[in-house]
Chains A and B, each alone.
Chain A
Amino acid sequence: MTTVWVPCDAAAVALGADAVAEAIAAAGVSVRRNGSRGMLWLEPLVEVETERGRVGYANLTEAEVGPLLDGALDDTDRCIGVVDEHEWLTRQHRVSFARVGLAEPTDLAAYREQGGLVGLQRALSLRPEEVVAEVTASGLRGRGGAGFPAGIKWETVRTATADVKFVCCNADEGDSGTFADRMLIEGDPFTLVEGMAIAALAVGATEGYVYLRSEYPHAVRTLRRAIDIAYAHGVLGESVLGSGRRFDLDVRVGAGAYICGEETSMLESLEGKRGEVRAKPPIPALEGLFGRPTVVNNVLTLAAVPMVLADGGEAYAALGVGRSRGTQVFQLAGNVARGGIVETDFGITLGELVDDFGGGTASGRPVKAVQVGGPLGAYLPPEQLGLPMDYEAFADAGAMVGHGGVVVWDDTMDASVMARFAMEFCAKESCGKCTPCRIGSTRGVEVIDRICSATDDGVRRTQLVLLDDLCTTMTKGSLCAMGGLTPMPVRSALEHFPEDFGLAPGEGREADGGIPQSATATTEGARP
C-alpha cells in the first residue's frame, strides 16, 4: 500500500490539510505528516509515494481526496510531478532547510539518516574553543536581523566565568512577513535542538530555553514533543550523547508582546517580568538571563550551526558574498503569486526573489513596493529591485535585510497609510521604557495625519520638518531597535512615494532639499 504525505505545517493546516489527511486515512490509505516544502501557494501540497519519487498534488481539498486516490488528478495541472524535481526547489540552495518537509518532524531515526547529529558528535570530539573557532571561521552572523557575528558572541560567553551559563533561542518571530523560524521548528525541530546543544557545549552552558511565541501553538507542540524524544534518546539531559556533559532544554511560551523579540526584553520575559528592554551594556553575553552569561541567538542562527560543525566552518564560509557568508532563508510574503521559503546564498537580487521565485503579485497588478526585513524595514520601489541581498549593500541603500522577510505590495498600496501604520504599531507595541519610542510613535501618527490632511503648503512643510526631527530623535535616542528603526519604513515611504503624502516628487527626500534643514536634522541615514 502506498503512503501519502500531508503536511502538518500550520500554513497547510490553516488551508485545510487536517481534513485532507483524515479523509485519506478514512479511505484506508497510510498517511504520514511531513513539514512543509515551503511552496506555500501550493498548500495543502499532498505527496504520493511512487517509484519515480514523491509526486505532488497542489491545493488539495477534502472533496478531492477520492479523485486523488483514483488517479483522476494525475493528468491535470494539479499534479506538479516529482516534488524534489520542482524547479522552484532545485533553484534553491537549502542548507538550514535541507530536511524540512521530507520526514515526520519528530522522527529522530529519520533525522539521523538524513545527516542529523553529525555536527553534535563532532562538537563533542572537539574542545570548546575549537567549536567556537569553527563557528567564527564560518562567518555565521545572527539571523535575527542585527547580523552580529555568532562566533564573537559565543567566545565572549565561553571566556566569561559564572556558576551557570545559559543558551537562549529567540523564537519570538513577531515580524510580519517572516515565518522561517516557525516552519523550521514545525518541520525539523531536531536541527534547533542540536544547534542549541552545540552552542551549550561550546560556551559551557548547562541550561537552554527556547522563547517561542504563543501565536505559534503548532510549533510549541512540535518542539515540546521533539525535546521529550531527545531526552528519551539521550540527546539532551545529564549526558549528551553519552559524553557525560549535561544540557537541559525547555520551551517557554510568550504572551503576545511583540517587543519580546528584542533580546533583552525576551530575557526579562523569561525571568517572569514585564518585557521591558534593558539598557546595554552590560551585554547579555556577560550579564544575560538572571544576570548570567547567556548566548542569545535566533532560531535560524542556531539551526545553521549543526551544518557548520558537520561540514566545517570553511565550507559554510565558501557560500555567500562579502561579509554576508553562508545562505539566507528568505521568506516571500504578502501580495506575491508564489510565496514561501527561498533559501539561497547571499547575493541574490531582490528582483530575482520577487519576480523569478515570487512570480510578481498575487493580484496580478504591478508591484508598487517591497518591504524587506519586517515591519521595521524599508519600503523599496521597483527601481531598487536590483539590490543584492547582502547586509552591507542593504545598509548602504538605507534599508536592511533583517530576518530575510520580503513583503510585496501591488499598486493599490498607499504609502502614507503604511507609514502611519508603522508609527501606530510602534505606539501599540512599545514597552514604554524609553521616551523617544513611547511618546515619539504617538506624535508620529499625529504628524503624519497632519501632513496628509494639510491644505496649506506651508503647514505641510512645517510638519515635514517636525516628522524628520522626530524620526531623527527616535533613531538616535531609542533604547532598542524598535523605536530606533520605526523611522525606517516611515522615511523610506516618504522618500520613494511622496505623492501618497500629497507631496511633489522629490519633496519627501531630504537630500534634494525637499525637507528644510532644522536644528537637529542630520543627513545620515538610519543606522544599520
Chain B
Amino acid sequence: MRQRGPGPAPAPAPADPVRAASVRAIADQLSTLRGPLLPVLHEVVVTHGCVTDDDVLVVAEVLNLSRADVHGVVTFYSDLRRTPPPAHRVALCRGEACQSRGAEGLFAAAADRWSGSAGVEVDEVFCLGLCAVGPSGTVDGALHAALSPERLDALTDRWGR
C-alpha cells in the first residue's frame, strides 16, 4: 500500500461564527439546485456584501467542492466582490454605444471627482442595455440614462467623501 500524506490541515475556525452560520444556511438551502455554486455565491453577496475567504471555506464544505473550485469561481466573476462594499457606488457604462455619446468624459470626470475617497467607489460596467439613451450608469444601484457630468454631480451631491 502506498503511504498517504497527512492530508490537508483542518480549516481554521472562522473569525465570525455568526456570519459562517448564515453562509452555511444559505448554502444548505440552495444546495439542491443543479449547479448551486453561483446562486449560493450571489446570495452571500446580497446578504453579506462580499465573499470572504472564510465564506469560501464554508461554501466549499457544504457543496462538497474543493476550496480551489470555489476560489476559482469567486475570482472569475466581477460581481462576486471580495471586499466589503463602499458606502456609495457609481457604475458607469463604458461600452461602445455609450462611448459614442460621451461616456469616456463622464467616467473620467466621476473617477476624478471621487478619486481617493474612502466611501465612494466609481466602477466601470460594460453595457446596461440602455444603448440608445446613453451614457448610462447606476448610482447606488438605481439606473440612470442620458447622464452628463452635471447630472451625475447632482445625483451624488449629498455624498461625503
Residues of A near any B CB (own CB < 8 A)? 10-11, 13-15, 40-41, 43, 173-179, 182-183, 207, 214-216, 218, 250, 252-258, 269-276, 290, 331-336, 339-340, 362, 371, 375, 405, 407-410, 413, 418, 421, 425, 429, 431
Contacts and interface: CB of A to CB of B under 8 A. Distances in A.
Interface stretch (B13-21, B82-90, B94-102): B94-102
B132 A255 contact: no
Contact of B38 (A252, A336, A375, A418): A252
Task: Give the interface residue-count category, chain B.
Answer: 35 or more
A326 B148 CA distance: 39
A410 B35 contact: no
A234 to B, nearest CB: 23
Interface in B30-60: 33-39, 41-42
A333 B76 contact: no
Interface string B129-152: 111111010000001111000000
29 contacts: A11-B133, A11-B145, A13-B143, A14-B130, A14-B145, A41-B132, A173-B127, A176-B96, A176-B98, A177-B96, A177-B97, A178-B131, A179-B129, A215-B127, A215-B128, A252-B38, A255-B78, A270-B38, A273-B72, A274-B72, A334-B101, A334-B131, A339-B131, A339-B132, A362-B101, A371-B96, A375-B95, A405-B131, A421-B99
A174 B127 contact: yes
Given A15-B145, A425-B126, A40 B73 contact: no
B96 A375 contact: yes
Contact of A270 (B35, B69, B129): B35
Contacts of B33: 250
Nearest to B124: A428
B76 A14 contact: no
A418 B143 contact: no
B73 to A, nearest CB: 6
A395 to B, nearest CB: 21
Given A10-B128, A176-B93, 15 more contacts: A15-B145, A41-B132, A176-B98, A176-B126, A176-B131, A177-B131, A179-B131, A215-B125, A256-B125, A257-B76, A258-B126, A270-B35, A290-B34, A334-B131, A421-B96
A413 B73 contact: no
A276 B78 CA distance: 14
B131 A407 contact: yes
Contact of A331 (B100, B132, B143): B132
B77 interface: yes
B23 interface: no
Nearest to B137: A14
B95 A176 contact: yes
B137 to A, nearest CB: 9
A371 B37 CA distance: 37
B122 interface: no
Contacts of B76: 257, 274-276, 431
A96 B37 CA distance: 34
Contacts of A410: 100
B97 A255 contact: no
A344 B145 CA distance: 26
Given A43-B133, A362-B101, A271 B80 contact: no
B28 interface: no
A215 B134 CA distance: 15
The 4 closest A-B pairs by CB, nearest first: A339-B132, A176-B95, A272-B37, A255-B77
Contacts of A336: 132
A340 to B, nearest CB: 6
A11 B100 contact: no
B153 interface: no
Given A15-B146, A335-B101, A179 B130 contact: yes
A339 B133 CA distance: 7
A335 B100 contact: yes
A27 B115 CA distance: 43
A97 to B, nearest CB: 15
A275 to B, nearest CB: 6
A408 B127 CA distance: 16
A348 to B, nearest CB: 18
A488 B95 CA distance: 17
A215 B132 contact: no
A224 to B, nearest CB: 13
Contacts of B99: 418, 421
B132 A333 contact: yes
Contacts of B36: 272
Nearest to A361: B100
A256 B132 contact: no
A177 B35 contact: no
Contact of B143 (A10, A175, A253, A335): A10
B132 A418 contact: no
Nearest to A182: B129
B96 A15 contact: no
A253 B41 CA distance: 11
B144 to A, nearest CB: 5
Contacts of B42: 214, 253, 255
Contacts of A10: 128-130, 143
B88 to A, nearest CB: 18
B76 to A, nearest CB: 4
Contacts of B100: 334-335, 407-410, 413
A109 B36 CA distance: 34
A371 B98 CA distance: 13
Contacts of B144: 14
Nearest to B101: A335
Given A275-B77, A339-B132, A334 B125 contact: no
A429 B33 CA distance: 28
A361 to B, nearest CB: 9
Which of B72, B77, B101 has the most chain A CB atoms inside 10 A of its CB? Answer: B101
Which of B73, B129, B136 has the most chain A CB atoms inside 10 A of its CB? Answer: B129
A407 B38 contact: no
A331 B133 contact: no
A194 to B, nearest CB: 22
Given A176-B97, A407-B96, A11 B132 contact: yes
